[in-house]
Amino acid sequence: MITAVEVRVRELDRTPDLVDLVGAAREAGHEVLLVERPMPDAVSVAALGRAYDIVAAPGGVALEDAAGKTLDFEAGEDRILAASRMWRRLSASLKGPDAGPPASGPVAVGGFAYRPDRDLAGPWSGFPALLLRVPALAVTRARGRTFISAFTPDAEALLEIGTAAGGANLRAPSARTLDVAPVRNPVAWTAAVGTAAERLRAGAAEKVVLAREVIARGDGVVSAASVVRALRAAYPSCFTYLVTGSDGTAFAGASPELLIRRSGSRAWSQPMAGSVARGATDLDDDRLARKLEESAKDAVEHRVVSRFVVEAMSPFSVNVTARPPEVVRFTNIQHLATNVSAQLLDPAADVLQLAAALHPTPAVGGWPRDAAQRLIDELEGLERGWYAGAVGWIDGRGDGEFAVALRCGLLWEDGARLYAGVGVMPDSDPARELEETELKFKALLTALV
């Protein structure tokens, strides 16, 4: 049974560093989540402790209290949609201000796996297939202002942990060097890419995404907070995120790709597909960008993704607009991206309903979905876990933002499993696809030490 909870919201006169805050709270033994985008108008949320969890359960999702006791259950084959229905019930019981900044008052932070319908095991055993957490304390930064939302009586004490510790309380020396090894032999992986391209030429699908996994072991502690801090500094326009697992692991990354953002009656997505390296100079950058724009393979791959996003958002919308593709630049890579915006029908679908319609996009799975998934199951040879899933937040209005969980790794005390994928098309060159994964791995490898 869900009982009414009064949510206390107030504005802070200072802005704590959210990474320091979650890092210190984690060192103190608290569960933490963070979704941050250090852009002027962006919303960032740090979640400290736990009041409620909406979590994947057999046949749907369960609502659990801080002690793990099940309070409610929502059945549904699509767990993201089941979570949307559960959130509507739960948020109605969280009594906060009628108006306020995004992600203040009732808010849940978390995400879901690439396959939210499958329970996770092995390295991912500390993570459920879906988790949306109402924290004990949420710290929200929006449009230059910072708010806290307290869901338990003593939640504000968590704020003092980060203030006192400064996020630097490590128990052992940090790692200085890494030993990096692929989980699957690169020769075998490129052979799988070649097989996939051959299957596509035979009509098995239009596109399939295949991922690789490497294990990096350090000679000291790999601090999750330090990794996120380094990613934020290196990739300032990306979504940086941190989700802690129940087994002491942490999922962290810096994603360039917006799955869905919803604000009132408007929604936005920015699918990305097609990549090329950055150049050593501005002229090199421009030359490589032109090469990407002129690539027939990348143009077709991107068109499959952008067309899907427009069609998936259309049933929820009065109209959907897609701008022409453009090249967006990040620290070590350039992508083809399309900005999609929608005017939503009234009443507007919430951000989880929209996420359920979009996930997984062809940018991370392939197209058609079922055919591509069969190829992934046969050829990829790894458990993706939350890689290529989504991370983000939803508030009491149904507004929210979810990023595709890319450029990421599953961290433990002295190492990490890192993930990177590529879109395979009928004319893909396996050697080039291998090079692209190496380029993407650098995003996290450089942040580990």
At 205, which amino acid appears?
A
Do the Cβ atoms of 254 and 233 come closer than 8 Å? no
Residue-level pLDDT at 337 = 93
CA distance linking residue 84 with residue 89, whole number of Å: 9
Q: What is the pLDDT of residues 367-425, one digit of tens each?
A: 999 999 999 999 999 999 999 999 999 999 999 999 999 999 999 988 899 999 999 99
Out of 12-26, 37-51, 53-67, 207-221, give the one with best mean pLDDT.
53-67
Residue-level pLDDT at 167 = 43
Q: Report in angstroms the alpha-carbon separations of 137 from 109, 155, 249, 421, 440.
A: 11, 5, 21, 35, 34
pTM: 0.94
Q: Report in angstroms the alpha-carbon separations of 113 from 93, 156, 243, 324, 387.
A: 27, 31, 12, 30, 7
Reported confidence tier of residue 3, pLDDT bands at 50, 70, 90 = confident
By annotation, the residues acting in catalysis are 207, 257
Q: What is the pLDDT of residues 177-216, one digit of tens each?
A: 889 999 999 999 999 999 999 999 999 999 999 999 999 9
Q: What is the pLDDT of residues 412-421, one digit of tens each?
A: 988 899 999 9
Q: What is the pLDDT of residues 284-333, one digit of tens each?
A: 888 988 998 888 888 888 898 999 999 999 999 999 999 999 998 888 78
Reported confidence tier of residue 448, pLDDT bands at 50, 70, 90 = confident
Closest by alpha carbon to 441, among 401, 408, 395?
Answer: 408
CA distance linking residue 33 with residue 42, whole number of Å: 17
What integer is the mean pLDDT of 10-14?
A: 91
Mean pLDDT of the chain: 92
Q: What is the pLDDT of residues 243-269, one digit of tens each?
A: 999 999 999 999 999 999 999 999 999
Q: What is the pLDDT of residues 131-188, one digit of tens each?
A: 999 999 999 999 889 999 999 999 999 988 765 554 444 455 677 788 999 999 999 9
Beta strand residue intervals within 92-156, DSSP E:
94-95, 107-112, 130-134, 137-142, 145-150
Beta strand residue intervals within 294-407, DSSP E:
317-322, 326-329, 333-337, 340-344, 366-367, 390-395, 400-404
Closest by alpha carbon to 1, among 56, 75, 84, 63?
Answer: 63
Residue with tokens 């080039």: 432
Domains of the chain in sequence order: 5-163 (3.60.120.10)
Burial code (b: 16+ CB inside 10 Å, e: under 16) for 23-43 equals: bbbbbeebbbbbbbbbeeebb
